[in-house]
Amino acid sequence: MGTPCHFALFELRPSFRLDLEQLATRYRELARGVHPDRFADASEREQRLALEHSASLNEAYQTLKNPPKRARYLLALGGHELPLEVTVHDPEFLLQQMELREELEDLQDSADLAGIAVFKRRLKVAQDALNESFAACWDDAAQREQAERLMRRMQFLDKLTYEVRQLEERLDD
């Protein structure tokens, strides 16, 4: 058996809907238990095991706290390995992606901080809606394709949100 399920590490049942504050609290408790300082006087093997446990705990936390990563992980738990890059047969979304990218470029060119704030709020609303849709269908085998499509949309919006934050930071300097 390989590494334990990310959810099991936190004593959670696999679910898309998570209490992120509870997850963060549990992460801090578990991280304290495997902190390298606690193993300063331990054997080399114990130190290595603590480090490995700390690394897998951190990876699990980073995956579960991020909705697109959590969605991808849940789909993979269902026994489906998902290629990272895939041709998306989702013409409506591809059009939306192009429009959002153009809008972001215009905001960047005009250095419109107020416009960027509005754009970021719209992205957040879209992300929340996708999260809800994914939560409703991820564990239904009949809606597998739809869940994958939603997860890919989530990944795109997550990346776009990151780019918006970077733009804000550049304009704030």
Dump pLDDT digits (tens) for 152-162.
899 999 999 99
| Overall CATH class of domain 91-172 | mainly alpha
Which CATH number describes the domain made up of 6-65?
A: 1.10.287.110
pLDDT at 86 over 70: no
* pLDDT category of residue 1 using cuts at 50, 70 and 90: very low
Dump pLDDT digits (tens) for 109-151.
999 889 999 999 999 999 999 999 999 998 888 888 889 889 9
Q: What is the DSSP string of the chain?
A: --SPPHHHHTT--S-S---HHHHHHHHHHHHHHT-GGGGTTS-HHHHHHHHHHHHHHHHHHHHHHSHHHHHHHHHHHTT----SS-----HHHHHHHHHHHHHHHHHHHHT-HHHHHHHHHHHHHHHHHHHHHHHHHTT-GGGHHHHHHHHHHHHHHHHHHHHHHHHHHHHH-
Domain range summary for the chain, segments of one domain joined by +: 6-65, 91-172
Most confident of 34-43, 44-53, 119-128, 135-144: 119-128
Dump pLDDT digits (tens) for 93-112.
889 899 999 999 999 999 98
